[in-house]
Each structure stands twice: as structure tokens, then as C-alpha cells.
Structure 1
């Protein structure tokens, strides 16, 4: 599998539970835009068969290399960014993991019951990135207990390992010059935006601006048979600025990303 096939499979899995992304993409295409993905993000669990260090070799097989590390103390996350070594147009990858040992004993116990169900060799092929949940569906009670402490943990418990967002590169848009214009169009069409810390996170001074929709909501039937609507995935938009003449900043800003994570919170 090459990285083009990888992202094609990922996109199909993503839009299955994120219909807004396909509709927004079509909205842009109808304006004559050719969309370039800035980055794709994944969530996973530390100290598990699908922890970051076990997934990294699969990304390396696809031609990626790690180039940045990030910490989110309040959300108890560690993350790493990856860039394709030869294809400059390939999306960057942002892979974060939940530091389970920093959570309460109650939440750790719930998560360890899921981890125990993951095959030890789960991270043996790139298709792990769209396999989704690798454990039995949680109870709604367990989901609520996770959500009370970590929305990230609750999201993972139901949706598992898959792309939680794709990101449109605003730098490559022809008819929408900045994030303000993008956000105006989205709101005009009825899409709700993540306004935590403002609709636009970051600034030209930080060399990166980002905005995102709020996650779609999907109906999920929990282990005890109850059906509830929960956040699935969202669509992001990023505008990068030059860090030197002709060279766009390629990193991420922890303060921005911390707020972007909240696109999947239960609002």
C-alpha cells in the first residue's frame, strides 16, 4: 500500500461517519476549488498494542518521518507530527495518545478492560488506522464515566482508531483567501463551528491559524441496548504563514490544537 491508497481508504471510512465533510468538500468543488489536505489526525491509547510507538513504524513504511512532539497536560495527551519524506503535497499526520496512567483509578480500570481485548499484533498493517473499535462496545454508563473525566477517552471508547479529522489547506484555495471567508461560507450554509477560544485559533504571529466545524453526531447502540447520539468526527481548515521567504511553517501550535480537540466534545 502506498500513501495515496492509504488516504483514499481513510477518507472513505471518515465520511461514512462524517457526512458534513463530504458535503463541505462538494461545496468547495462547486466553487472550482481543488482541495489539498493539510493534515489528518488520529487518537489512540498509550501503553497498549496500538500505542504511538507501535503505530509509528507503519507510518514510516508509508514514507513518513516524525518531526515534532507536543504535550497537552490538561488533557493528558502526548502527540507527534509526521511528514512525508518525498511527497510535499501529502498530508501531514498528527498522532496523539492518551496517557492512561495519569487518569483516575476508575477510568484506568475501564480503559484497561478495552486494552485487554486488543490483539497484541494489532499494529501489523496500515489498515489498523481505519479499523475503528478493537474491543466490545462499552456500556453507556462506562461511556459517561469516561466522558466526565476525558472526552477524548469517551470518544475513543466508541469510535476507536480512525481519522478523527481531515484538514483543508486554506493556502491552496483560490476563491476563499483566508479563514474568515471560509468560516463565513460555512456558517452561511448552516454548519456549526468550534468557537472555543474564538472561531479562529492561532494568529499570523504564531504562523498558523485554524478553525473547525463541530463534530457530526451519530446514533450508537451501547452494550446494554440503549441508543444515544454521540460526537463522531469533524472537518478542519488551516492557514499557514511563511517562517522564512518561500517556506511555510509546517509545525503545530499546542494552544491551537488543545482547542481543536474540543470539536468532538459533547456541547
Structure 2
């Protein structure tokens, strides 16, 4: 079983926490604006049984090249008290993932959302560019100019590419070898997905199985890789994700094609066995299953699988 660490002391001073929460709010607004189906799901979660929105993690994709990798995002969040929680390697996909745990902040008993609720974990993937073919490396380096990664967080909040929009020809070259790299080239630092914290919900959505049944009944397409309900070996981490909607994108050479956008995930973290007898109102996030698992994460990444074969 994974070790359990007590939450670290908040490093916030003055208005820093307010600023960080505003950054997150704008990242979410941009994500929902660019992904209509995700917005519909988000609004359903918020409206049903007066649910209060709480997030488990936000996920981003980057390129490990010229300062555009994980460090381009992590440095900002670590300035505001985030700390490295762990990492995962996906050699078959040629990507590496790091996740950051949020600082411990005061959360009112009714605290939810980004306004006054717990802060989300931040998950960052980077495509290991040097492990791709020389042709794919050439495509990526053609667009990513040195020093541009410094604007990563600004790019996430605006939903705008730092680099020039790629051509369909270049996109196809990259997609043939790595769909994740191609997705990142066209979407940049736009949030790949957000995950709701099911264990913080109330009423009908407090059980991920109910969520699965509800959205299946509503006709939403759910990710079936590894089963719709993905369960860690210890049974304490449960995840469900939707399939990314496909949206038209106009490429730099004038070609318009339908490609995957972003998706939504639901994550339920069960209480660790050693804390199962604690009163419910005393349960904190660190009493629950922490971290992520390679197999489940690998399957969830397939939510952005392309339907077109290049």
C-alpha cells in the first residue's frame, strides 16, 4: 500500500491563494468554453440534487523540449505551495507524468469548488520528444520556439496556442506515430481534462457507480478501455471517464478536420483501511487513497483516441 503523508503546511501569504484560485477558475472557464459536451456534463453535475462542484485533479499535456515540458507548468504551481506527489512512466506511449499535491488550505465545512473548496491536484504529462522518430521530432521543433514555454500558464488560461497553428500535413505525420503528441501540438496547454472528486459529492452522485449508470442512461459515450469503471488493484481508487468529443479544427494550410478535444473524468478515492473507523466528519483528503496507478491512467488516456487512422 502507498505510504500516507500528512498534508504539508500552506505557504500562501496575503493574496496569493486568491490569485491561484482565480487562475484555476479561468482555466476551467476556457476548458468549458472550448468543449461543449464537457460543459453539459459539468452543468448536469452542478444542477442535480444541488451538487457542489469539487475537483480531484486537472491534467495538462506538454512536450519535453526547449523548456516546454513539465517544468514549464510545475514551477508556477510550486511557487504557490504545490509539491511533487509522484510520477508515472508510460514507455509504450513515450510519455512521462508527474502529479503535484496541493498545499493544505483552510476549507469551510460547506466549502466546494475553486472559490473556497480544496485545491485540485495538478497532473502534467510530457511527450518524450527525443524518443520519437527524427521526422516527428522535426515537426515538433519546427513549431516550438525557444523560451516559449515560459507562457504556459497564460496559454492555459486563454486557451491560445503559444506556437503557430500546425498544418494538416504536419499534424498527420505526428499523429501516425503518436496521437498524444499530435493532440498536444494542436491543443497546446489547454486543459486535457478535469476530474471531479466523487468522494466530496453529496446525495445521488456520492457513488461513482451511480454516476456511471446516470451518464450511460443519458447516452454519453464513456471510455471502455480496461472497463468503464476502472478500479485500482487495492480497490481504493475508482475512475470513470467520458470519450472526448470530436470538434472541427481549421489547420494552418486551410484544411478543416474533425479531431478529439477534451473530456471529463470522475474519481473516487476510498478511505484507507487504517482510518475506516474515523467519524465521517473527521475524514480529510489525506485519509483517503492517494496517487494514481499506471494501468488505469493508461486506459483513461485513450479517451482522446483518434477515430481516423493515419
Common fold: TM-score over 0.5: yes
Within 5 A, what are the aligned runs for 1:145-184?
A: 145-174=173-202, 175-184=204-213
Structure 2 residue aligned with 1:133: 161
3-state SS in 2 of match to 1:242 = coil
Structure 2 residue aligned with 1:225: 254
Structure 1 residue aligned with 2:13: none
3-state SS in 1 of match to 2:268 = strand
Distance 1:51 1:14, change over 3 A: same
Measured against aligned partners, the alpha-carbon deviations of 1:15-36 in whole angstroms (never above 9, x if no partner) come to 1111122211221222221120
Do 1:219 and 1:227's aligned partners in 2 also have CA atoms closer than 8 Å? yes
Do 1:122 and 1:128's aligned partners in 2 also have CA atoms closer than 8 Å? no
Do 1:3 and 1:63's aligned partners in 2 also have CA atoms closer than 8 Å? no
3-state SS in 1 of match to 2:150 = coil
The alignment status of 1:4 with 2:21, answered yes or no, reads yes
Q: Offset of 1:125 from its aligned partner?
A: 7.1
Give ranges in structure 2 of 5+ residues lacking alignment: 1-15, 108-117, 276-282
The alignment status of 1:192 with 2:221, answered yes or no, reads yes
Distance 1:125 1:159, change over 3 A: closer
Distance 1:47 1:143, change over 3 A: same
Distance 1:176 1:124, change over 3 A: closer
Q: Offset of 1:183 from its aligned partner?
A: 1.3
The alignment status of 1:29 with 2:46, answered yes or no, reads yes
TM-score after normalising by structure 1: 0.93
| Aligned pairs, number | 265
Q: Offset of 1:113 from its aligned partner?
A: 0.6
Measured against aligned partners, the alpha-carbon deviations of 1:187-243 in whole angstroms (never above 9, x if no partner) come to 211210111111111247242111111112221111221111111100000011223
Do 2:239 and 2:267's aligned partners in 1 also have CA atoms closer than 8 Å? yes
Within 5 A, what are the aligned runs for 1:249-264?
A: 249-264=289-304
- CA–CA distance in 2 between the matches of 1:113 and 1:154? 13
User: Which structure: larger Rg?
Assistant: 2
Give ranges in structure 1 of 5+ residues lacking alignment: none
- CA–CA distance in 2 between the matches of 1:145 and 1:67? 34
Measured against aligned partners, the alpha-carbon deviations of 1:118-157 in whole angstroms (never above 9, x if no partner) come to x515425732433542222212122122111111111011
Structure 2 residue aligned with 1:70: 88
Do 2:195 and 2:265's aligned partners in 1 also have CA atoms closer than 8 Å? yes
Structure 2 residue aligned with 1:265: 305
Do 2:60 and 2:189's aligned partners in 1 also have CA atoms closer than 8 Å? yes
- CA–CA distance in 2 between the matches of 1:65 and 1:123? 19
Alpha-carbon RMSD across the aligned residues, in angstroms, is: 1.8
Q: Offset of 1:253 from its aligned partner?
A: 0.7
- CA–CA distance in 2 between the matches of 1:125 and 1:201? 31
The alignment status of 1:54 with 2:54, answered yes or no, reads no
Counting strand residues as a fraction of each chain, which structure ranks higher?
A: 1
TM-score after normalising by structure 2: 0.81
Distance 1:83 1:189, change over 3 A: same
Structure 1 residue aligned with 2:114: none
